[in-house]
Chain A
Amino acid sequence: MENTELITSFNNRLPDEKVAKLLPALSLLAEDLGEKMVIDSNSLREILVSVGADQEEWAYEELKIWLKSLDKVKDNPNNARKDAVIVELRNRGIPEFPAMLAVYVVTNQQENTVQIETPPSRVSNNTNQYQKVGGSAGLTRRQPTDKPIEQYHRLLPDHGWHNDLGWEQLPRWIKTNPKLIARLKRGEQVIGKNVRYKFVANRLIRRLRYRMPVAGHYRGR
């Protein structure tokens, strides 16, 4: 049965140009899955908006196929299954390394992430329940800290959640969309082009898509 699925997915694969256009969506999808977010059709549409492919129906259909594949490793990330999903993604035209990294992000973020369920409503002196660490097989797991919670957003080691924003700085396209506001209030992320927004400790924070700026120095002599 699985073989039949593989063959079918291979036969229907998109042309390389379309895969290349959609490829940036793979990392977003993997991150969301890794963070155990519920991925519904709205989430997929948001991802497509952020990669500029929201008007393409083929992109939505393809993203659903990628989601279906990655979903298989979400709850049962054994090596055989990981390999099978990598093969499935590759049969969809995704190059090997992005396919491997997508599976890695889904499985390793899960293994190491303490997920934020809801944003706390007030400042407390509890130990950090809200830290979120990047997936790296235990290498970067942060130890609990007794710092007051208003500092947690600065401690988040997710290489890039930063910049406290006020409500007034919330982009207009979010402010005018009650559904997105509701999502933010539930503690979920709202994804925009090259940026994500969410609330942590009652603060609106954002994460840039390109997490690490390109260093401005040159190598060599």
Chain B
Amino acid sequence: MTIVNLYQNAKGIPEILEVGESSHVGGEGRIFFSRDGLYAVKIYHPGASQEKKQFLEMITMLGTSLTSDEAQFLCWPLAMVRSVDNVPQVGCLMRRIADSYKPLCNFTENPKMAKEQFLVGRSWSHYLQMARGIARSVAVLHGRGCAHTDLSYFNFLVNPNTVDVVLLDLDGLVVTNFLPAQVKGTRGIIAREIMLRKSKPNELSDRHSLAVQILQTLLYRNVFKSLTTYDPTDPDKDEEIGWGEELTFSEDPKDRRNRLSMLGMPLFQGGALSYKMLTPSLQRLTERACIEGINNPSKRPSAREWITTLSYALDELYQCPRCHIHFPYPYWLKPVQRRSCPFCGQRVSGNLPSVLSIYEPKSHGKYVFAQRYIVLGNRWQLFPDILDPQRDPPMSRRKELTVGHVEFDVKNSSNQLVNDEGSTWRVRLNGKPILTVGKSASVPLQPGAMVHFGEGRRLLVVEE
């Protein structure tokens, strides 16, 4: 039985804690779980400096500003360790994350792991939500002026059922000029300028790691993995060069040295997912992060941009009728015959979904294209946040009421948008007078149709 004494620098934290045997040992220290199952205690290896202690105290203090919602997905140090069995030690106390959470690497490290998840009923849309959870946790840190510096997939825990993500290892945060970096990070996700020692870890280098992690989650591979040997005599040096000086995006159009041979082929046929399967907005972010941003950190997309774009991508999904996995409906590929499932290769055919572009209301009754699309297939629902210009997409729509839904009209062989709300919609169809659509009435989603949902709300235009 081990007794941990804690400093009383946080409310509601016990002064004394009984912990079991150490459950994990890492480079920095050991992790113990409290007997009551509520807490995890990290004890640094002997030799941790007083400076580390001071660091921890500052970080613990910063954690008091988190909202209760943020504290759910950031495993923040809650208090500091005074001693272990009356021996002074450096360490910190954290909330224990439930056992249902597993490291992100268990789901995303390679396509095999993803296939295992698909076999138990999960879909690529779950991965899209995981990626958004990753971006959300990092966005909170960046929004408050700090960086994590080690966004490896060992530091994210995921609940595969709820797709909630928790970020760990927050005891090494960087706040420029206040809390300097203590580690470089994990090789493979470190930004090039850090590998080359041209810069110290900061928010911009975090953005690189975030992009790598998001793309790993969506494509099940590290998009910078080197396929070239730079030093056949020294594997360490070889990696150092491959992840540093010669860091190259696997799909860089001007440099094909890391390009996979089966890139773009269906995943279930031994292929590798390409970033070109992502929505156009996600493709643009990927290019900024992985091509322009390699040597120009300021070009890298922020965590907020990733959240928004990943959220929008959730409205552009289509379910493959053969393998039943959701993927971004490739409306940008024309003709339709070019569209296929990136997982099983099934051509898109049959009852095709409708693609609608979204327009923002501006003054004097004008509308501006929001650079955003929505894909509505049979039984898909329209949620109020899509129509509300003041709202960002929520992290979950489980409790949201629907504004409308789509039904496939077999007789006319077209999708119908059914009004589920009380307000009346006005619809302009090509060359026809304006229709009004009340509750439970429906409107055919014909190309060119404009659906007006009322003043101050967004406008939808049917593209195909």
Contacts and interface: CB of A to CB of B under 8 A. Distances in A.
Interface in B271-296: none
A101 interface: yes
B49 to A, nearest CB: 8
Contacts of B9: 137
Contact of A217 (B57, B65, B183): B183
A219 B185 contact: yes
Interface string B172-183: 000111111111
A101 B58 contact: yes
A212 B182 contact: yes
B46 interface: no
A27 B177 contact: yes
Nearest to A103: B61
Interface string B1-13: 0000001010000
Contact of A139 (B7, B181, B201): B7
Contact of B178 (A96, A98, A214, A216): A98
Interface residues of B, number: 38
Contact of B181 (A135, A214, A220): A214
Interface of B is mostly: loop
A212 B51 contact: yes
A210 B49 CA distance: 16
Contacts, number: 105
B441 interface: no
Contact of A214 (B26, B50, B54, B180): B180
A101 B146 CA distance: 11
Residue of A26, A157, A220 with most chain B CB atoms under a 10 A cut-off: A220
Contact of B176 (A23, A139, A214): A23
B186 A215 contact: no
A175 interface: no
A176 B222 CA distance: 54
B150 interface: yes
A19 to B, nearest CB: 10
B197 to A, nearest CB: 8
A215 B53 CA distance: 17
A24 B177 CA distance: 6
Given A23-B176, A219-B183, 7 more contacts: A95-B145, A95-B146, A98-B175, A135-B54, A139-B7, A157-B50, A220-B154
Interface of A: 23-24, 26-28, 94-102, 104-105, 134-137, 139-140, 157, 159, 209-212, 214-220
